[in-house]
Each structure stands twice: as C-alpha cells, then as structure tokens.
C-alpha cells in the first residue's frame, strides 16, 4: 500500500480508474456465460455501491472542498459547484429522456442507454481524479478515502457493465461486440480521472469547485440511476445495501482519519 500512497495524484487516479474500468469489463463479461443475472445479487451490489458513493461524496469530496481556501466565501463556492454538478447530470438525463421518447425501437433504446452510461462515467471518473488530487502527499488516510471512492464506483460499475452489455446483446449484437462496447464506456473514466487530477493539481484555486462539482454529479447519478434501479424490486435488500455501504465508507474514513 505504501508504494501507492507515495505515487503522484495523477498516477493514483490512473491506477484507481483502471480498477473501475476493469469492473465494468467484469460485469459485461457475464454475457459470455449466461442469459440472465441474479437480480438479488445485483440489487445488493448496486445498493452497497450507492451507499459508498453517497458517503464518499461527503467525506471524500464535500468536506475537502469546504476545507479548501477560496477567494469567495466557501459556502458559495461549494453550493454553486454542487448545484452545477447535479445540474450537469440532470440536463443530460433530460436530453436523453426526450430522445428516448422519440425512438421506441429496441436498438434505439440500447443506444441511448449506452450514451447515458458513458455520460455518467465522465463525472464519476473526474471525481476519482479530483479526490486523489485533494490529498496531501503522504497522507495515508486521505489516499484510502479516495481509494474507497474508486472502490464504490467500481462496485456499481459491475452491474452497470452487465446492464449495458445485455440489452446490446438482446438487440442482436454479438457477445464479443456487446462486451467490447460496454468496456469502452468504462474506459471513459480513465481519461476523465486523469484529466480531473491534472486540472485540480494544476490550478489549486479550482479545487473547491471541482470537488463540489464532482460531489453534486455523484449524488445526482446515485439518485437518478442507482437508487431507482435497486429499489424497484427488492427494497429490503436495497436498503440493507445502501446502509451497509454508507457505514463501511464512514467507518473507514473516521477510523483512518
């Protein structure tokens, strides 16, 4: 673990986002082995990821943003940044929702789902990069907290990869192509994570903005995608997953902080 902590934030973001991308690929690889997924298992994973991401949005993104120095009052910066991040996801969902209504074909729906997932992966990757950029050199607790954020995103990427690959496969696409396209949607996070780390590291004044923006985007993704999906059929399992995921992230942050 020490070798990872001693790396620059850009390299940390790169390695962490590689993990999230590989988790997308792992979920997508299920198309090679089965035609259906265990719904309760996916619900538990999605709920746990939602809990981790909610906690990480506060402990790994908002709290560091509040502690950053800023020329403007910090409550203004953090609030505006948070709203911009949430607005980015909300506008994207609105535009995709309108496009979906205009295209009822199975292929069109699969394509829009693919675009939606890829769009959401951008702020997720950016959140990972910014979280590592906000950690001081040699700060083990901060690095672990940022790493847990990546773990939470990676966990939710597993069912996400499957949810992208299976509709593409059902639309007539080969298993190999469905897997590859799903994998490509996860690769967006690598680029976004590295860019987020470089931008946040290069302009310290942007740090509270980027941290709060990422937090807002993360919360919006959880509320618009993860929570509705996992609570649709198995509410008790979903609730347990969210609570346990949040508790895990909170305990790690408090114990190591």
| Whole-number Å distance between alpha carbons of 245 and 257 | 18
| Whole-number Å distance between alpha carbons of 100 and 120 | 16
Rg value, the chain, Cα: 18
pLDDT in tens, 18-28: 999 999 999 88
Of the candidates 151, 132, 153, the residue with the CA atom closest to the CA atom of residue 60: 132
Q: What is the pLDDT of residue 79?
A: 94
Query: For residue 232, what is the DSSP state?
Result: T
Q: What is the pLDDT of residue 99?
A: 59
pLDDT in tens, 74-101: 889 999 999 998 898 888 777 766 655 5
Residues 6+ apart with CB under 8 A from 94: none
69 phi, psi to nearest 5 deg: -80, 140
Query: 238 is written with which tokens?
Result: 């979903």
| CA dist list (Å): 200 to 113, 178, 208, 251 | 30, 34, 9, 27
| Whole-number Å distance between alpha carbons of 25 and 17 | 12
Of the candidates 72, 83, 55, the residue with the CA atom closest to the CA atom of residue 146: 55
- pTM for this entry: 0.69
**Res. 181 pLDDT band, cuts 50 70 90:** confident
Query: For residue 136, what is the DSSP state?
Result: P
pLDDT in tens, 188-212: 999 989 988 887 776 667 778 888 8
Tell me which long-range contacts 241-244 makes (C-beta under 8 A, separation of at least 24): 241/43, 241/44, 241/45, 241/46, 241/47, 241/48, 241/49, 241/50, 241/51, 242/47, 242/48, 242/50, 242/51, 242/54, 243/51, 244/48, 244/51
């Amino acid at each position: 673990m020490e070798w990872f902590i001693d790396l620059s934030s850009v390299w940390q973001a790169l390695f962490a986002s590689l993990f999230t991308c590989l988790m997308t690929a792992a979920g997508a690889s299920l198309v090679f082995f089965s035609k259906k997924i265990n719904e309760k298992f996916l619900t538990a994973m999605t709920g746990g990821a939602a809990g981790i991401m909610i906690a990480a949005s506060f402990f790994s993104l908002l709290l560091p943003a509040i502690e950053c120095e800023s020329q403007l009052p910090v409550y203004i910066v953090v609030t505006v940044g948070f709203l911009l991040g949430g607005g980015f996801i909300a506008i994207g969902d609105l535009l995709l929702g309108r496009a979906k209504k205009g295209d009822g074909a199975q292929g069109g729906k699969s394509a829009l789902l693919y675009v939606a997932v890829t769009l959401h992966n951008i702020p997720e990757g950016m959140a990972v990069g910014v979280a590592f950029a906000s950690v001081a050199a040699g700060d083990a607790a901060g690095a672990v907290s940022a790493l847990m954020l990546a773990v939470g995103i990676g966990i939710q990427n597993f069912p996400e990869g499957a949810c992208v690959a299976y509709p593409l496969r059902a639309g007539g696409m080969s298993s190999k192509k469905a897997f590859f396209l799903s994998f490509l949607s996860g690769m967006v996070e690598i680029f976004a994570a590295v860019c987020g780390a470089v931008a946040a590291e290069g302009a310290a004044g942007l740090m509270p903005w980027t941290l709060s923006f990422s937090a807002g985007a993360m919360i919006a993704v959880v509320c618009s995608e993860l929570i509705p999906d996992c609570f649709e059929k198995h509410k008790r399992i979903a609730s347990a997953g969210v609570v346990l995921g949040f508790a895990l992230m909170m305990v790690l942050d408090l114990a190591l902080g």
